[in-house]
Amino acid sequence: MSGRFVLLGAPGAGKGTQAKRVCTRLGVEHLSTGDLLRHAVRTGSPAGKKAKGYMDAGKLVPDEVVFSVLFERLDDGLDGFLLDGFPRNRVQAEELDRRLDAAGTPLDAVVDIDVPDEHLLGRITGRRVCKVCGNVHHVEFMRPRVEGVCDVCGGELQQRSDDRAEVVGQRLAVYREQTAPLQAYYADRGLLATVDGDRDADAITDDLLAALGEHSTEGR
């Protein structure tokens, strides 16, 4: 199955977890701009050096930096992909459309994972990410078998700098101001579906697969 999809949702909505599940089932590439940017920071690339200060402060990374890391990956000629964490604003959405339309490969569908704001704070501040493999645990909902140790590879778990409580409020405020309006942008284009993200993870995955499967290239 192939297709070109976007997954929307506030920080803590579960986009990363669900994107990995969905991509495995659909056989499309998972493209997380957050992962791409964090890799750029770790490797000390020019884009990573520019991005680090913004990410540590919970601010959005400038569009030109995001474009440089993402479109380099899209230019690899992927058969199908799901974008997680991009676009984050109208300018990014329009640039994505321009590039994909020019290549004759427009988006097929956009799904928004909806979670009430009051449930997002605990989800974010409780996350712990493996320094080695990137696997995600949670201090309450997905505790590791050994405290501070990744279940998958045995690496050290850490709290991301942008998951600290003092940063999370800023991240949510930025999302509501700049990213939430994309729901209307994609609805106007007839691409948007919404999934209730405040439920069991398996139920969310099933609904996401149903929404994206309807618009896959093979489903036409």
Q: Which positions ≥6 away from 44 have C-beta within 8 Å?
A: none
145 is catalytic: no
DSSP 60: P
Alpha-carbon distances of 204 from 111, 173, 182, 192, rounded to whole Å:
11, 25, 21, 16
Backbone angles phi, psi at 151, to 5 degrees: -65, -30
Q: Which of 25, 50, 90, 160 is catalytic?
A: 160
The Cα 12–Cα 124 span in angstroms is 5
176 is catalytic: no
**30: helix, strand or coil:** strand
Q: Which of 4, 21, 123, 127 is catalytic?
A: 127
Asked if the bond preceding 106 is cis, omega within 30° of 0, the reply is no
Q: Which of 4, 21, 88, 128 is catalytic?
A: 88
59 is catalytic: no
15 is catalytic: yes
Q: Which of 15, 38, 52, 123 is catalytic?
A: 15
Q: Which of 4, 123, 128, 171 is catalytic?
A: 171
127 is catalytic: yes
How do beta strands 136-138 and 127-130 pair? antiparallel
Q: What residues are labeled active site?
A: 15, 88, 127, 160, 171
